[in-house]
Amino acid sequence: MALDAPPRFEGSIGLGPVRGPRRRRDPSHEQTWRLTDRIALALCWAAGLMLVAIAGTIVLYMLYRGLQYVTLDLLTTHPQPGLDQSQTGGFLDPILGTVLLTVIGIALATPIAVATAVWIVEYGRPTWLARAVESGIEIVAGTPDIVIAIFGLALFQQHLFAPLSLTADGGAVFGRSFLTAGAMMGLIAIPMVFGTTREGLQAVPAHVREASFGLGKTRIATIRRVLLPSVRGNISTGMALGMGRIAGDTAVVIVLLGATLQLEPEGSVPGFDVLKGTGSTLTSYVYNNSPAGEGNAPEKAYAAAFVLLLIVIALNFTVDLIARRGSRTGLESTRLGA
């Protein structure tokens, strides 16, 4: 190893300059480790590199196929049912469906999740109830989305919820509409918004609350004026995570959104009729156009999947962006932060 001319440091108490130190490389000499240790090290590297390789392959392959099949036409025309799917229109309706569902879902989830997080962190009495609610949220987070979807169907087919969806002539409530699907999507997104909001609230130091109480403000006023604004970043992160989860979910869609390719509004109130009606989303569109569904148009499936992946990556990128901006104020809200 060639020795560079060492830099000179001036002694700070005037004892004269010192011989500068050399930069060292870390000589761990792995070749003298035991064989099992070397194999283990190789496995670690292999695992790490495989992760990168798998992610790269997925993204690049979807990019390749997507660019191959996506046209502006597809993004802006309505899908038409037909025997030969490759000739029949694009997927504008599914895109609208995805957007609509995401908005409904997150709009329902955020107030409930934030209120729950605030109650748990700031009040939390009686303790058994707080712990039960926390366990409840963990249980919801762990429940498979297909089960939540099935529950939604059973729930919204009750006559109580008839205004939310189409009612057939025989009196049976259809139970499938944007509203019902959106409600269940909200349930799915609650744990994400709850988790990040709770972390954010717990990270606010006690002296901030004490300062506000010392000025004579009630707890609820403190929450509204001081705490919630300071966890805005956490709430946004949770919302972005939740939106990503909603946009990528297929199970709830195929159970609860009806199986119409286009948006089929129901009823006569403008605006509300779309919500009450059925439709499709990008996820169900991909599912139905793949060999597992009915239509057999892999090109359309790839195109729609590519658009879906872009949306999800964009939402994830937003999470990173918010987290990075938030970390200036010291709010660390995502896992895997080193």
Partner 1 sequence: MRDPEAPFAAPDYDDARPAGRAPRGSGPELPPPIRRIVVDEDVAPTVAPSRPVARGAGAADAADRVPGPERMTLEGLSVAYGDKPAVKDVDLHIRQGEVLALIGPSGCGKTTLLRTLNRLTELTATAVRGGRILLDGVDVDAMEATVLRRRVSMVFQQPNPFPMSIFDNVAYALREQATRRPRASVLAPQVEDALRRAGLWEEVKDDLSRPALRLSGGQQQRLCIARAIAMRPDVLLMDEPCSALDPVSTAVIEDLIVELRRDLAIVIVTHNLQQAHRIGDHVGFMYLGDLVEYGTAEQVFTRPVARRTRDYVRGAFG
Partner 2 sequence: MLERLREPWSDHRAERVLGAVASLVLVLIVLMIAFIAVKAWPSLQHNGLHVFGNGPVDEQISTQVNTGVKPTAAELRLTAWPLIYATLVTTALAGAVGLLFALFASIFIVEFAPPRLRKLIVPIVRLLAAVPSVIYGLIGILVLAKFVGDHLISEQRARSVEYVVQLNGTSVLVAVVVLTVMITPIMIAIITDALYAVPKGWREGSLALGVNRWRAMWTVSVRACRPAIAAAVVLACTRALGEAIMLSMVSGSRGFAPNPLDGITMLFEPLRPLAATIAENVESLNAPALRSSVYLFALMLLFSSFVLSIGAYLAKQPMRKYGMRA
Quick one: which of 12, 28, 31, 268 contacts partner 2 (CB under 8 A)?
28
Stretch that binds partner 2, among 70-78, 79-87, 148-156, 262-270 (CB under 8 A): 148-156
Residues 196-225 that bind partner 2 (CB under 8 A): 218-221, 223
CA–CA distances in Å: residue 258 to residues 175, 252, 262, 279: 9, 10, 10, 6
140 contacts which partner out of partner 1, partner 2, none, CB within 5 to 8 A by kind? partner 2
Measured distance CA(333)–CA(331) in Å, rounded: 6
List the structure tokens of 195. Answer: 């988790």
Stretch that binds partner 2, among 78-86, 127-135, 195-203, 226-234 (CB under 8 A): 127-135
Q: How does DSSP classify residue 173? A: B
Measured distance CA(281)–CA(168) in Å, rounded: 23
Site size for partner 2, by CB under 8 A?
Answer: 90
Quick one: which of 99, 140, 203, 228 contacts partner 2 (CB under 8 A)?
140
Q: Which is nearer to partner 2, 9 or 33 (CB)?
A: 33
Residue 137 sits in the site that holds partner 2 (CB under 8 A): yes
Q: Give the chain's end-to-end CA distance (angstroms, integer).
A: 33
166: left (phi over 0), alpha (psi -120 to 50) or beta: beta
Measured distance CA(63)–CA(318) in Å, rounded: 20
Distance in Å, CB of 7 to partner 1, minimum: 9
138 contacts which partner out of partner 2, partner 1, none, CB within 5 to 8 A by kind? partner 2
List the structure tokens of 17. Answer: 């300059």
Quick one: which of 75, 77, 204, 248 contacts partner 2 (CB under 8 A)?
248
Q: Tell me which residues touch partner 1 (CB under 8 A).
A: 6, 9, 11-13, 15, 18-24, 26-29, 32, 34
Distance in Å, CB of 16 to partner 2, minimum: 34
220 contacts which partner out of partner 1, partner 2, none, CB within 5 to 8 A by kind? partner 2
Contact 247, 315 (CB under 8 A): yes
User: Within a 13 Å sphere around the CA of 210, how many CA atoms are in the beta-carbon half?
Assistant: 3
